[in-house]
Structure 1
């Protein structure tokens, strides 16, 4: 069951990536990110209020937000700091790079998760899983060669380093999620509500320095419907992902790889919508990544 939930998370993440590319075009990264988090946070406000005034009903429907000790709040705040840094780097890179370059690099995230799962959680890979993960990494390297034809020199482009940093931090957060869900026994909606809350606070501090004081920046901001869509799609994807992690048999290394199947939507559909270059050539490493994901699922 947890694998099917992982595939649902991948579906909503793929749609989320398409909307995110549209949301950041011509916009400052931080206010867009804040808008997406606010829209996602508003989804959970009714559950939070309902859990206070009608706890039995919300427990029955599976959307009860539990009360937490301060120590657990601290653990969630750490996740918020990790993901805030990852999103800031990822949104900035997405604004300056083609979606068909950003998404495949992000697909290397399972490799970092794979190593962490072995070292931290003692998850044992088999030969097919080894082949699958290295196939994903090799395919990402092929994308670097295609990127040069679009004027993107990987060694000299700071946005490439930004997306690599975002990928590493995102993978670290994925490993941390397993600790939060399984060791601290947090349910998805409780984790998502407080995670959004603390991340919004972090972004408000950043924006109070970099955006709010500058009238020109505020006037140039363009609100788009995709800002709201990004927040809703992301929280929906995270909900299915956290539900999958609640299964004690779920392997974080496999879940991380399954989520990468979102690349099919981002590269094929995104390439058509945003008219990006070299779409056919990018299908070759895309196939390599998908084959790597298949080997992991097959194993």
Structure 2
């Protein structure tokens, strides 16, 4: 069951990436990010209020946000710090790079998660899983060759380093999620609500320094409907992902890889919507990544 939940998370993540590309094009990154997180927070707020005044009902429908200790709040705040840094780097990179380059590099995330799952959680991969993961990494390297044809030098372009850093931090957060869900026994909606809350606070501090004081920057910001869509789709993806992680038999290394199937939506549909270059050539490494994901699922 947890694998199917992982595929649902991948579906919503793929749609989320398409909306995110539209939201950040020619726009200020930090207020866009704040808008998406606020949208997700407002989506969850009725469940928080309902949990305070109608705890039995919210528990019955499976959306109760439970009370947690200050120590647990601290653990969630750490996740917010990790993911805020990752998102800031990823949004900046997405603003300056084609989605058909950014998304496949992000697909290297399972490799970092794979290593962490072995070292931290002692998850044991089999031969096919090894092949699948290295096929994914090799396919990402092929994208770098295609990227150079679009004037993107992977060695000197700072946005490439930004998306690599975002990918590493995102993978670290994925490993941390298993600790939060399985060891601290947080339910998905509780983790999502407080994560959004602390992320909003962190972003407000950043914006108070980099955006709010500058009238010119505020005027350049363009509100788009996709900002709200990004927040809602992200919460939907996270909910199914965390539900999958609640299963004691769920392997974080496999869930991370299954989520990468989102690139099918981002590369194929995104390439058509945003009219990006070399779409046919990008289908070759895309196929490699999909075969890698298939081998992991098959194994």
Does residue 56 (structure 1) correspond to residue 69 (structure 2)? The answer is no
Deviation at 1:47, TM superposition (A): 0.4
Does residue 251 (structure 1) correspond to residue 262 (structure 2)? The answer is no
In the comparison of the two structures, how many residue pairs are matched?
299
Q: Which runs of 5+ in 1 are unaligned?
A: none
- Name the structure 2 match of 1:242: 242
Q: Deviation per CA, 1:94-121: give whole Å up to 9, x if none.
A: 0000000000000000000000000000
Deviation at 1:239, TM superposition (A): 0.2
CA root-mean-square deviation: 0.3
What SS does the corresponding residue of 1:154 show, helix, strand or coil? coil
- Name the structure 2 match of 1:121: 121
- How far apart in 2 are the matches of 1:252 and 1:268? 26
Q: Deviation per CA, 1:118-166: give whole Å up to 9, x if none.
A: 0000000000000000000000000000000000000000000000000
Deviation at 1:205, TM superposition (A): 0.1
Q: Deviation per CA, 1:37-64: give whole Å up to 9, x if none.
A: 0000001110000000010011000000
- Name the structure 1 match of 2:188: 188
- Name the structure 2 match of 1:11: 11
- How far apart in 1 are the matches of 2:220 and 2:258? 38
- How far apart in 1 are the matches of 2:51 and 2:232? 21
- How far apart in 2 are the matches of 1:79 and 1:134? 28
- How far apart in 1 are the matches of 2:55 and 2:39? 24
- How far apart in 2 are the matches of 1:250 and 1:33? 30
- How far apart in 1 are the matches of 2:226 and 2:62? 28
Q: TM-score, normalised by structure 1?
A: 1.00
- How far apart in 2 are the matches of 1:207 and 1:80? 16
Deviation at 1:191, TM superposition (A): 0.1
- How far apart in 1 are the matches of 2:240 and 2:2? 9
Moved over 2 A (4+): none
Q: TM-score, normalised by structure 2?
A: 1.00
Q: Which runs of 5+ in 2 are unaligned?
A: none
